[in-house]
C-alpha cells in the first residue's frame, strides 16, 4: 500500500497483481498458504469488495450500516493535507520522527486500511459493540466474534483484525507519520483507546505497558452510563 501511493482502487489492485509474484518486480517470499504476514493490501481489497457488493462507497456503507448502529455519527475518512484539517482535528507533528512529514502521505486512499478519522471515545464506542461483553449488545454474532479472535496457523498472536493472547485480551495499534494509536479490550472488562498526534511514543510495549500501569493505579472506578 505504500509502494505506489499515486494510484488507488482498481488501478492499484491491477498494479499489485501485475507486479508481485514469481519472476516479477516484487517476488513473494513464500508461496501462498506457506506462511503468514500482515497485509494492508488485504484491508484495501476488502474495502473494494464492500463497494462492489453493496453499490455504495466504502465510507458511506460503513457509516450507514456499522458506525450508525454503534451510535457513531462523526467518524469519516481523513483528508490528506493540513488544509483538509477539520475544525476539531489535531494538527499532526513530526517531533518524534523528524524524518517523516505527517502531511506527505495521501491518507484518503487508505480508507479501509487506516484512513478513518475519529475520536478516542468513538473508537471505544465501536469496540464496545464487538467485545463479547454484555454491557451493550454486540453488532456481530458470537460465532463471528469467536472467529474474529481466532488466530490462523503461523500468525503468532494475530487473529482477524485483532491481536490476541491466551489471557483473552485483544488489541491493535497503528501509526503513521504524525499519529499513533492503541485500542485495547482486556479480559476483565476494560476497553480503552489512546490517540496521539505524534509518533514513536512507547505506550504499550514491554512486559508492563503504560496502559496496564494506568488501570492498576485506580482503586475505585465510578459508575457511569455505557457508551
Residue 162 lies in a domain: yes
Q: Which three cell numbers stand for residue 215?
A: 488501570
Q: Of residues 124 and 31, which shows the higher confidence score?
A: 124
With a cut of 60, say whether residue 215 has pLDDT above it: yes
Contact present, 181 and 193 (Cβ < 8 Å): yes
* Residue 222 placed within a domain: no
C-alpha closest to that of 58 among 128, 109, 94: 109
Q: What pLDDT does 203 receive?
A: 64
pLDDT at 173 exceeding the cut of 60: yes
Q: Does residue 227 sit within a domain?
A: no
- The CATH number linked to 49 is 3.40.710.10
Asked whether residue 1 is domain-assigned, the answer is no
Axis-axis angle for helices 9-19, 40-54 (nearest 10): 130
Identify whether 176 is part of a domain.
yes
pLDDT-derived band of residue 207, with 50, 70 and 90 as boundaries? low
Q: How many helices (H) and strands (E) would you count in the chain?
A: 6, 6
Q: Are strands 163-164 and 116-117 parallel, antiparallel or unpaired?
A: unpaired
> Can you give the pLDDT at residue 212?
77
201 within a domain of the structure (yes/no) = yes
- Tell me the pLDDT of the chain averaged across its residues: 90
Q: Is the pLDDT of residue 117 over 60?
A: yes
Q: Are 132 and 138 in contact (CB under 8 A)?
A: yes
In a domain, 175, yes or no: yes
Q: What is the average per-residue pLDDT within 45-54? A: 96
Given a cut of 90, whether residue 89 has pLDDT beyond it is yes
Residue 44 lies in a domain: yes
Domain that holds residue 137: 9-216
What number is the average pLDDT over the span 13-33?
A: 92
Q: Please tell me the distance from the alpha carbon of residue 137 to that of residue 167, in angstroms, as a whole number.
A: 23
**Domain total of the chain:** 1
Beta bridge partners of 196: 180
Residue 166: per-residue pLDDT: 92
pLDDT band at 136 (very low <50, low <70, confident <90, very high): very high
Instruction: Report the C-alpha gap between 93 and 46 in whole angstroms.
Output: 30
Average pLDDT estimate for 69-98? 90
The pTM (predicted TM-score) of the whole model is 0.89
Radius of gyration over alpha carbons of the chain, in Å? Answer: 19
Amino acid at each position: 500500500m505504500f509502494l505506489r501511493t499515486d494510484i488507488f482502487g482498481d488501478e492499484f489492485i491491477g498494479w499489485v497483481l501485475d507486479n508481485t509474484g514469481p519472476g516479477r518486480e516484487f517476488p513473494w517470499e513464500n508461496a501462498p498458504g506457506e506462511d503468514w504476514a500482515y497485509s494492508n493490501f488485504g484491508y484495501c481489497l476488502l474495502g473494494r469488495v464492500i463497494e462492489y457488493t453493496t453499490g455504495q462507497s466504502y465510507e458511506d456503507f460503513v457509516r450507514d450500516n456499522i458506525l450508525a448502529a454503534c451510535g457513531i455519527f462523526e467518524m469519516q475518512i481523513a483528508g490528506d493535507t493540513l488544509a483538509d484539517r477539520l475544525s476539531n482535528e489535531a494538527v499532526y507533528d513530526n517531533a518524534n520522527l523528524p524524518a517523516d512529514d505527517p502531511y506527505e502521505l495521501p491518507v484518503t486512499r487508505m480508507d479501509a486500511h487506516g484512513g478513518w478519522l475519529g475520536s478516542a471515545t468513538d473508537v471505544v464506542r465501536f469496540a464496545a459493540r464487538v467485545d463479547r461483553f454484555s454491557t451493550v449488545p454486540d453488532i456481530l454474532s458470537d460465532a463471528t466474534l469467536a472467529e474474529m479472535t481466532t488466530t490462523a496457523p503461523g500468525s503468532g498472536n494475530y487473529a482477524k483484525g485483532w491481536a490476541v493472547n491466551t489471557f483473552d485480551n485483544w488489541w491493535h495499534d497503528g501509526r503513521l507519520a504524525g499519529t499513533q494509536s492503541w485500542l485495547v479490550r482486556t479480559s476483565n472488562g476494560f476497553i480503552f483507546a489512546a490517540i496521539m498526534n505524534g509518533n514513536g511514543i512507547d505506550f504499550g510495549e514491554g512486559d508492563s505497558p503504560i496502559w496496564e500501569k494506568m488501570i492498576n493505579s485506580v482503586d475505585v472506578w465510578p459508575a457511569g452510563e455505557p457508551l
